[in-house]
A and B are shown apart, each in its own frame.
Chain A
Amino acid sequence: MSGRISVPSNYLTLWCCYLLNYLCFQISVYLCTSGMGEVILGMPGQWAHDYREKADHYTSKIGGLPDWPDLDIPVSGKLLLCDLCGGKLCLMAQIYAPLSMAERSIDERVIYVLGCMKKDCGSNPQSWRVLRLQRCKQDIESKDEPLKAEQPEEESTSVAEDKPTSQSSSVKVCDDEDSDSDIDLDDLAQALEQAATLASNSKKQDGTKHTRKIVEGPVAKKLIYDLTTPVLPCFYIYSQRNSSEGRMDKANFVGGSSISLKEIEKSSGNESEGESWEGEAYEYDKALGADRTYLKFKKQLDAYPEQCFRYSYGGNALFPVANVPKPGACKICGSARRFELQLMPPLLYFLQEASDDSSNFSIDGWTWLTIIIFTCPKNCCSGTCDEKSGNSCRCIVEEEAIVIQDD
């Protein structure tokens, strides 16, 4: 339904705010900047209404279909096929991970983790593929950039009034079609949805003019017409910082213990003679089936039992076993890859819960304890991106994933 409305701008502002609240948010993940070594956890959020629904590439989600941003060259088919069986890979996780480094900041950087669902491939680490898609930004001050972060209120105001001032002209609804007060209803709704999607972005303070690309499509969530790719149940992710130790003690609480501290003090009092516990020394944790490394891994998991992934750019991974193969070197620049994030087992549990309803794929083939993803520390490009093509070049680089199995 499309229509042109001509309403006074203050009514429109109110209605925009109302619509903003009414729309179903898919919250994109803009986590707080992490310092070196700080860990950000991806916690499970809302389920998608339909597993094939389209988000944008600023969203972090698990399952569903990958949201590719506007690419000059579409993603090559070879990257989306399994190495072992040749079948199509399905999206396991799509994580929006921009970086701010000293020399440059990469805002549009997304990591896609793809896996094969066939029974035999699932347990083989070669069937996993990690793609890093980033936009090589050469020139910040360009006009051709798509919309960067904007405050929702400000954007709605500027959409409503469409005044050509230096700041509010950062959003231009349509290039030449609109007058000042007539606004295409669909474009308005799209603008609001985009604003909702980018709701937690920080604003670029440079005040440059941005022109926004019109997002094609209706207001309701669009589905991706891809019936050939296997699809996992889809849910969105919100972020949480890994907080302090206090949480862990609470998590270790074992309810219903029949021991109280007073009883212990009493029992330690009446010891019979000749029995004194001597010669005890410090002992590391050990259980029959679990060694010390695994118990530390489990302790971190118990602090936040629902964590789906741990993100710590350049930090340390949490290894459940002692001997983990070292990551290789980047194929383009040759530098040793660095840890970026790892997927955790509660993710499999959530997917399995959802798949019980429509059991048409084998998640049970997956028995990994964690998938650790290493990326190139220099965020290099694939070399086809040169100065001439300007700043709209996007590269897809394949990164490395180490799969640790749960035997």
Chain B
Amino acid sequence: MAERGDRGGFGRGFGGRGGGEGGRGRGRGERRGGRRGNKSEEEKWVPVTKLGRLVKSNNITSIEQIYLHSLPVKEHQIIDTLLKGLKDEVMKITPVQKQTRAGQRTRFKAFVVVGDGDGHVGLGVKCAKEVATAIRGAIILAKLSVIPVRRGYWGNKIGLPHTVPCKVTGKCGSVTVRMVPAPRGAGIVAARVPKKVLQFAGIEDVFTSSRGSTKTLGNFVKATFDCLMKTYGFLTPDFWTETRFSNSPYQQYTDLLSKPTTKALLPPTEEPLQAEA
């Protein structure tokens, strides 16, 4: 095969020459200092998506702007930057087994819920061969799935919203979870597992009712999460007024920062002439 002999590459090996390797090492030392700040490698975030670049440059300051235009969040550092008080908790780590010819292969599945207790909650599920990897991965996935939770009143609109605005129901697998507004002081009336999710969401009082095989607690917690997602999807009379549409952050900042390309020319006086003296 012709391809077998092919070896792509930028060049040959260094061949152990002092000049080459020294130059490379020197160059690398120079570069690192010049470009980077004081942050260590792990802390410095290089954004990948356009939304990430906008968040990094502080053009987007609140996560509500992202939710308003339903922009998909693809980097967890966006959430870290915009929501500072996010707490996380591992709900469960279960071993998951797969039968192979050489026995059973066990992997660990981690369920992590993140939330700030004030209307933002996220749920992450990750399978990995090691527990620590699963937890880390699940935290990142939970941050990517942070949603806003709408809260409302049971009766009198006194004080801050404390319960769900209306009856909502969420489903995952065979489990359906129904949440019903409750008066102040009722607390979260739910099983232990969805109670945790609702606490992270910042809901103070709610009545819940579940149906289906709630023993599959993975589905149970996902059904609760799905239910919370629907709180902002429910059309209540507050939303009957006409929506005034605004520019999505992509368009807003592109128009602001773009300049006509004819200005790319530097004025000739600034060009230093490098002719032979």
Contact = CB atoms under 8 A, between A and B. Distances in A.
Interface of A: 1-2, 20, 25, 27, 29-36, 40, 44-47, 50, 52, 60, 87, 95-103, 117-119, 151-153, 196, 199-203, 217-218, 220-223, 225, 227-228, 230-231, 238-239, 249-255, 257-259, 261, 263-264, 267-268, 272, 275-283, 285-290, 294-295, 298, 301, 305-306, 311-315, 340, 344-346, 348-349, 352, 356, 359-362, 364-365, 367, 369, 377, 406-407
B133 A252 contact: yes
Nearest to A27: B27
A406 B93 CA distance: 34
A33 B7 CA distance: 7
A99 B272 CA distance: 37
Interface residues of B, number: 99
Given A119-B258, A288-B73, A314-B8, A200 B23 contact: yes
Given A238-B24, A239-B10, A101 B5 contact: yes
24 contacts: A31-B10, A97-B10, A98-B9, A98-B11, A102-B5, A202-B12, A218-B275, A227-B265, A238-B28, A251-B42, A253-B42, A254-B139, A259-B139, A263-B90, A276-B215, A279-B215, A290-B72, A290-B74, A298-B74, A314-B8, A345-B48, A352-B57, A364-B258, A367-B50
Contacts of A60: 10
Contact of A285 (B4, B24, B126): B126
B187 interface: no
B136 A252 contact: yes
Interface in B178-231: 191-193, 215-218
Contact of A30 (B11, B265, B274, B276): B11
B144 A288 contact: yes
A288 B71 CA distance: 10
B177 interface: no
A254 B136 contact: yes
A348 B48 CA distance: 8
Given A32-B11, A99-B8, 16 more contacts: A36-B6, A97-B9, A100-B7, A102-B5, A199-B19, A200-B17, A201-B12, A249-B133, A264-B90, A276-B215, A282-B109, A283-B127, A289-B73, A290-B72, A290-B74, A349-B46
B27 A25 contact: yes
Residue in A2, A31, A346 with the greatest tally of chain B CB atoms within 10 Å: A31
A377 B10 CA distance: 16
Nearest to A263: B90
A96 B258 contact: no
Contacts of B276: 2, 218
Given A276-B215, A314-B3, A253 B136 contact: yes
Interface string B1-37: 0111111111111110101110110111011001100
A346 B48 contact: yes
A36 B3 contact: yes
Given A47-B34, A252-B133, A282-B98, A364 B253 contact: yes
Given A47-B34, A199-B23, A306-B46, A287 B145 contact: yes
B2 A102 contact: yes
Contacts of B75: 298
B144 A228 contact: no
B135 A259 contact: yes
A255 B1 CA distance: 48
B31 A313 contact: no
A1 B275 CA distance: 10
Task: Classify the interface of chain A: helix, strand, loop or mixed.
Answer: loop
A225 to B, nearest CB: 8
B137 interface: yes
B164 interface: no
Contact of A33 (B11, B127, B250): B11
B261 interface: yes
A30 B21 CA distance: 11
Contact of A311 (B10, B17, B57, B261): B10
A297 to B, nearest CB: 9
Contacts of B216: 277-280
A275 to B, nearest CB: 7
Interface of B: 2-15, 17, 19-21, 23-24, 26-28, 30-31, 34-35, 41-50, 53, 56-57, 71-76, 87-90, 92-94, 96, 98, 107, 109, 112, 124-127, 131-133, 135-137, 139-141, 144-145, 147, 191-193, 215-218, 250, 253-254, 257-259, 261, 263-266, 268, 271-272, 274-277
Residue in A1, A20, A313 with the greatest tally of chain B CB atoms within 10 Å: A313
B6 A102 contact: yes
Contact of A362 (B9, B23, B261): B261
B109 A359 contact: no
Given A199-B23, A288-B145, A364-B254, A349 B12 contact: no
A289 B9 contact: no
Contacts of A223: 271-272, 274
B35 A359 contact: no
A98 B23 CA distance: 20
5 closest A-B pairs by CB: A313-B8, A102-B5, A289-B72, A30-B11, A31-B10
Residue in B4, B10, B140 with the greatest tally of chain A CB atoms within 10 Å: B10
Contacts of A102: 2, 4-6
Contact of A258 (B72, B87, B144): B87
B34 A46 contact: yes
A267 B14 contact: no
B42 A100 contact: no
A231 B265 CA distance: 8
A369 B33 CA distance: 28
Contact of A259 (B10, B90, B124): B90
Contacts of B14: 30, 32, 200, 202
A315 to B, nearest CB: 8
Nearest to B142: A287
